[in-house]
Structures are given as C-alpha cells and as structure tokens.
Amino acid sequence: MRVEDLQIGDTLLSKGGGFNTDDHMEMHNYDVANMTGQLRTTTITDIFPTTSNDNIDFNNGLLIATRTHYHLMKIKGRWNVRPIYVAQLALQYGDSVHFYHYDGTEVEITSAVDNTESLTVWEIDTEPDDVFFANGLLTHNHKRS
C-alpha cells in the first residue's frame, strides 16, 4: 500500500521488542546484538504529511527519510535506535550499517546521499507498538509533541 493511501485506523506490520517506546532515553539506551520479538500489527493513530528538504536517500531510493527520523539500525554489530543521520555518519567512517527487513534478514546500506529536494514526507504515529515496517524496513513511529 502506498503511504499516500494510509489512514488513521489502518494496521501496519510491526515487531515486538525493547525498541517499542516513545521515550527518547529508552530508545537511546536500546543496544543489543540480536533482534528478538515476534511480528505483529500496530494501528495508525495519527498521520500527517509535511514538507522536508533535509532528507537522506539510502541505497538509491530504498528508503528516503528526514535526517532526524529515528530508525532501527545495526552499526558495529549492535542494533540501536538512532536518528537516521547516524547511519550516514557511520558509513562515512567506514562502518557497516544494516537495516532490519520484515523477513528477518539484514539489508546492508551501501549509500547514503543528502537529498535537499523539497519532498512530502508522512509522519505516522502507531499504537500500541511504536515501530512499523516501511518499504520492508523496521522504522520508528513519529510522536507529535
């Protein structure tokens, strides 16, 4: 389903695990060697389009996200929840970076390019889980303050 067609109340594929929190300190402290948790669903509770010209394009369009969007990524053999720009920095320093795919595999990130083109991005909040799969990759939701 295209993100443009999503609506409040729709369910998305999710995954259970310690990364399911909106608490920034808990997200920052999430640091594990292996992903655990079962696939399940979560419900969209808020969705809104916004415009951004501060994005990063990973693997030639596999994922385009705002620099500050939180994402699950594996860097130096450890899974963390960090703003997406951390993946770009890790690549610049020669570290390997992987995203988690819904089929349980890791997707290696081979390129991260700044994209300053003005794009419409969708900020999605989900509950009860705070993560969902976007383009097959496990990403964190966006909680409006």
How far are the Cα atoms of 59, 86, 89 from residue 116, in angstroms, in the given order? Answer: 16, 17, 17
pLDDT digits (tens, 9 = 90+) for 107-142: 999 999 999 999 998 899 999 999 999 999 999 987
Helix (H) or strand (E) holding 26: helix 24-29
pTM summary value: 0.90
Pull the structure tokens for residue 113: 């390019």
Question: Residue 20 — very low, low, confident or very high, per pLDDT cuts 50/70/90?
Answer: confident
